[in-house]
Every structure is written in structure tokens, then in C-alpha cells.
């Protein structure tokens, strides 16, 4: 089985989403040492914006090939300015390609990338799961929408929130998210 691991935080070793995505991958690898892993660090090697010329050749990009080939995709996704990082958005623009990961038919859009299991390790400074900021949550909501658009209707989210609200809250949120990451199982993840 092939696993694609994507990170997109700009915060290097201090990154929560990187710690969580690494924990998910380590857990999956411990369960299945034969996993073939491809790693893409979108902060270390940022992708260009998609442009008209790029769209014309998008079917042949390494990003799209890696994604299409993967059985499992683990995405480290920090919340920046209520949404995802621009690095991750650029990657999404490279893999959401008409005729490859979705197509339009008489009934509307049809996702073509089903059968993969996607696990998103998501970190955010505030609390968005409840309370007044919930309406401003455009990272998890956007990722669920775009993944569903390409046929991935049931991504697994491991969320650590409130990370900017003090050391105690940060440690508790990370411990809970890491405990969840340690329970991820490859066999239960493939929804072909």
C-alpha cells in the first residue's frame, strides 16, 4: 500500500500539525511496515500557484500522480487566518483537476478519487468546535468540502485546538490528539 504524507505548516519543529501528522504516519507504519511512503513538505518546497499554462499540463504533475497513486493520504493542516495555509491551498489546486479527480456530468460534479482514506491532522490556536468562533472555522469545513468534491466523503480528522490559549490547554489538546493518532489503524481506514 502507498501512503502520501503532506505537511504544510510554516512553523518548523514547533509545528503542532507536523507533530500530529508524523504521529499518524508512525502509527500506520508500525501497523504495516511495508507501507511505501512519499513525503511532500509544502513549506520547504512550496508549489507555484496554478496558472492557465499549468492547468493545461496538470494531468502530468508529480503532485497529481502521487495523490492518485496513494491508498492513504495524511495531511498536516494548520489553521492560518481562519483557513488553511496558502501552501496547502496551492497543493489542493494542483490535485483538484477536471478529468482526473473530478468530472462534471448531467447531475453535476462527480468525484473520481474515492477509495482512498484521508487523515487530516489539523491544529488551530483558538476554539472553533463550539462557541462564538465556530462560524469563523473555514479550514476543516473547507477541507471536508473539497475532499468530498473529489470523492473522499469520509476523511478522518484529528484536531488539536486551543493551542494558543495557554500551556496547559496546549498540552492537553496535543495529548488528546496524539492519543487519537496512536489509535489509527490502516485496515479500518480503507473504504474501497
Residues within the interface to ligand FMN (CB under 6 A): 9, 11, 15-18, 78-82, 123-126, 163-164
If the CB atoms of residues 47 and 58 are measured against ligand FMN, the closer one turns out to be 47
Least distance CB 132 / ligand FMN (angstroms): 12
If the CB atoms of residues 44 and 164 are measured against ligand FMN, the closer one turns out to be 164
- Strand duo 117-123 + 83-84: pairing: unpaired
Least distance CB 39 / ligand FMN (angstroms): 16
If the CB atoms of residues 30 and 136 are measured against ligand FMN, the closer one turns out to be 136
- Rounded to a whole number of angstroms, the CA Rg of the chain reads 16
Least distance CB 181 / ligand FMN (angstroms): 14
Alpha-carbon distance of 99 to 67, in angstroms, equals 14
**Any idea which residue has 490535485 for its cell?**
95
Grid cell, residue 67, equals 495523490
Least distance CB 35 / ligand FMN (angstroms): 23
Least distance CB 75 / ligand FMN (angstroms): 11
If the CB atoms of residues 136 and 190 are measured against ligand FMN, the closer one turns out to be 136
If the CB atoms of residues 16 and 152 are measured against ligand FMN, the closer one turns out to be 16
Q: What is the SS3 assignment for 67? A: helix
DSSP character string of 75-142: EEEEEETTEE-HHHHHHHHHH--BTTTEEEETTEEEE--TT-EEEEEEE-SS--SSSGGGGG--SHHH
Amino acid at each position: 500500500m502507498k501512503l502520501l504524507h503532506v505537511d504544510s505548516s510554516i512553523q518548523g519543529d514547533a509545528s503542532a500539525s507536523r507533530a500530529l501528522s508524523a504521529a499518524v504516519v508512525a502509527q500506520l507504519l508500525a501497523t504495516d511496515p511495508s507501507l511505501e511512503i512519499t513525503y511532500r513538505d509544502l513549506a520547504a518546497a512550496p508549489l507555484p500557484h496554478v496558472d492557465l499554462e499549468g492547468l493545461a499540463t496538470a494531468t502530468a504533475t508529480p503532485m497529481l500522480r502521487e495523490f492518485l497513486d496513494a491508498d492513504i493520504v495524511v495531511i498536516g493542516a494548520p489553521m492560518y487566518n481562519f483557513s488553511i495555509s496558502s501552501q496547502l491551498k496551492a497543493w489542493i489546486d494542483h490535485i483538484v483537476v477536471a478529468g482526473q479527480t473530478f468530472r462534471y456530468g448531467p447531475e453535476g460534479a462527480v468525484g473520481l478519487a474515492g477509495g482512498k482514506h484521508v487523515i487530516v491532522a489539523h491544529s488551530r490556536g483558538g476554539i472553533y468546535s463550539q462557541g462564538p468562533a465556530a462560524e469563523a472555522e473555514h479550514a476543516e469545513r473547507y477541507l471536508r468540502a473539497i475532499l468530498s468534491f473529489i470523492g473522499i466523503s469520509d476523511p478522518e480528522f484529528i484536531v488539536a485546538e486551543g493551542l494558543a490559549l495557554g500551556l496547559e490547554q496546549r498540552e492537553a489538546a496535543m495529548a488528546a490528539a496524539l492519543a487519537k493518532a496512536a489509535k489509527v489503524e490502516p485496515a479500518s481506514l480503507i473504504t474501497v
